Amino acid sequence: MTRYLLALLALLACNALADTFDARVVGIADGDTITVLDAQKTQHKVRLAGIDAPEKGQSYGNASRKSLAALVHRKDVVVEWHKRDRYGRLVGKVLRGRQDVNLEQVRLGFAWHYKRYEMEQTAEDRRRYTKAENNARMRRVGLWQDSEPMPPWEWRTGIRLR
């Protein structure tokens, strides 16, 4: 119960501190990281919250990057961010019109719902992202075509051990 209460308080604090801005996508690093320019022409790296996509060099890494590029490259978006990660990137939801781009990457099978950080999401987003991942797995789309896709958090650990 205490863990749940702490997570809820953290989520409320994150939402209270959330900021939103309009931007133009100018770069795609991989399937879950973009570069945007805000109205003042300030550049920001944005890590898509709630998802983890295959890394460069990993199976489906390039396909995931291409999927994200098709969704947002050179397009206007809204960034709803709530924190910075250890690399200084903004972490948040990217919206193109009414479309949740983070969720769309999961729905298309090019990202996992990143359970490690799911308590930073609203309950509704947790439900939608989980459902999208389960549906992508059942339809065997994107990375789910692989019989045993390796989650990027495991792949990154393996790379570090070499």
**First-to-last CA distance in the chain?**
40
The Cα 97–Cα 48 span in angstroms is 16
**Distance of alpha carbon 92 from alpha carbon 50, whole angstroms:** 8
Spatial distance between the Cα atoms of 99 and 161, rounded to a whole number of angstroms? 38
Q: Which of 74, 84, 86, 89 is catalytic?
A: 89
What is the Cα–Cα distance from 28 to 35, expressed in whole angstroms? Answer: 6
Residue 47 annotated as catalytic:
yes
Task: Please list, in sequence order, all residues whose beta carbon lies within 8 angstroms of the beta carbon of residue 130, skipping any fewer than 6 positions away.
Answer: 113
Sequence-separated (6 or more) residues with CB below 8 Å from residue 5 = none
**89 an active-site residue?**
yes
Which SS3 state, helix, strand or coil, does residue 103 take? Answer: helix
Considering 3, 24, 55, 133, which one is annotated as catalytic?
A: 55
Positions marked active-site: 47, 55, 89
